[in-house]
A = this chain, B = another copy of it.
Amino acid sequence: MPGPSQQLHERLLAFGESIRLLRRRVGLSQEELAHAAGLHRTYVGSIERGERNLSIGNAWALADALDASLADLLSPMPGDDR
Protein backbone atom coordinates (compact mmCIF):
# COMPACT_ATOMS: atom_id res chain seq x y z
CA MET A 1 0.00 0.00 0.00
CA PRO A 2 1.49 3.41 -1.04
CA GLY A 3 2.45 5.83 1.80
CA PRO A 4 0.23 8.93 2.33
CA SER A 5 2.46 11.29 0.30
CA GLN A 6 2.85 8.76 -2.54
CA GLN A 7 -0.93 8.26 -2.58
CA LEU A 8 -1.48 12.05 -2.59
CA HIS A 9 0.98 12.35 -5.50
CA GLU A 10 -0.88 9.66 -7.47
CA ARG A 11 -4.23 11.29 -6.77
CA LEU A 12 -3.01 14.75 -7.81
CA LEU A 13 -1.63 13.20 -11.03
CA ALA A 14 -4.98 11.48 -11.71
CA PHE A 15 -6.93 14.66 -10.94
CA GLY A 16 -4.66 16.71 -13.21
CA GLU A 17 -5.09 14.17 -15.99
CA SER A 18 -8.89 14.25 -15.69
CA ILE A 19 -8.78 18.06 -15.91
CA ARG A 20 -6.60 17.86 -19.03
CA LEU A 21 -8.77 15.19 -20.70
CA LEU A 22 -11.98 17.12 -20.12
CA ARG A 23 -10.38 20.43 -21.11
CA ARG A 24 -9.32 18.92 -24.45
CA ARG A 25 -12.68 17.23 -24.91
CA VAL A 26 -14.49 20.56 -24.59
CA GLY A 27 -11.86 22.21 -26.80
CA LEU A 28 -10.33 24.72 -24.38
CA SER A 29 -6.70 25.74 -24.22
CA GLN A 30 -5.00 25.99 -20.80
CA GLU A 31 -5.18 29.76 -21.22
CA GLU A 32 -8.95 29.70 -21.89
CA LEU A 33 -9.59 27.32 -18.97
CA ALA A 34 -7.44 29.43 -16.64
CA HIS A 35 -9.28 32.59 -17.67
CA ALA A 36 -12.68 30.96 -17.17
CA ALA A 37 -11.65 29.65 -13.74
CA GLY A 38 -10.02 32.91 -12.65
CA LEU A 39 -6.63 31.27 -12.32
CA HIS A 40 -3.22 31.86 -13.94
CA ARG A 41 -2.35 29.73 -16.98
CA THR A 42 0.91 28.47 -15.48
CA TYR A 43 -0.99 27.44 -12.34
CA VAL A 44 -3.44 25.40 -14.46
CA GLY A 45 -0.48 23.80 -16.23
CA SER A 46 1.07 22.75 -12.91
CA ILE A 47 -2.30 21.39 -11.71
CA GLU A 48 -2.61 19.29 -14.87
CA ARG A 49 0.89 17.90 -14.21
CA GLY A 50 -0.22 16.90 -10.70
CA GLU A 51 2.20 19.33 -9.06
CA ARG A 52 -0.32 21.27 -6.97
CA ASN A 53 -2.19 20.36 -3.79
CA LEU A 54 -4.76 22.96 -4.80
CA SER A 55 -7.55 24.29 -2.64
CA ILE A 56 -10.98 22.73 -2.95
CA GLY A 57 -12.21 26.20 -4.00
CA ASN A 58 -9.86 26.23 -7.00
CA ALA A 59 -10.90 22.65 -7.80
CA TRP A 60 -14.54 23.76 -7.87
CA ALA A 61 -13.60 26.78 -10.05
CA LEU A 62 -11.97 24.43 -12.59
CA ALA A 63 -14.96 22.07 -12.52
CA ASP A 64 -17.35 24.99 -13.10
CA ALA A 65 -15.23 26.29 -15.98
CA LEU A 66 -15.40 22.79 -17.53
CA ASP A 67 -19.17 22.64 -16.85
CA ALA A 68 -18.65 19.49 -14.77
CA SER A 69 -19.18 18.65 -11.11
CA LEU A 70 -16.08 18.26 -8.96
CA ALA A 71 -17.33 14.78 -8.05
CA ASP A 72 -17.16 13.84 -11.75
CA LEU A 73 -13.56 15.01 -11.99
CA LEU A 74 -12.68 12.94 -8.93
CA SER A 75 -14.18 9.61 -10.00
CA PRO A 76 -12.58 7.19 -9.93
CA MET A 77 -9.42 7.98 -7.95
CA PRO A 78 -6.44 5.79 -6.92
CA GLY A 79 -7.32 4.37 -3.52
CA ASP A 80 -11.07 4.59 -3.93
CA ASP A 81 -11.23 0.79 -4.16
CA ARG A 82 -9.44 0.27 -0.77
Tell me the A residues contacting B by CB distance below 8 Å: 4, 7-8, 11-12, 15, 38, 53-57, 59-61, 64, 67, 69-72, 74-77, 79-80, 82
Contact at A71–B64, with CB atoms within 8 Å? no
Contact at A53–B64, with CB atoms within 8 Å? no
CB-contact partner of A71 in B54, B67, B77, under 8 A:
B77
A75 with B64, Cβ < 8 A, contacts A8-B57, A15-B56, A53-B57 known: no
A56: B residues at CB distance < 8 A: 11-12, 15, 53-56, 59
CB-contact partner of A69 in B53, B57, B61, B75, under 8 A:
B75
Contact at A64–B79, with CB atoms within 8 Å? yes
Question: Chain B's nearest CB lies how many Å from the CB of A78?
Answer: 10
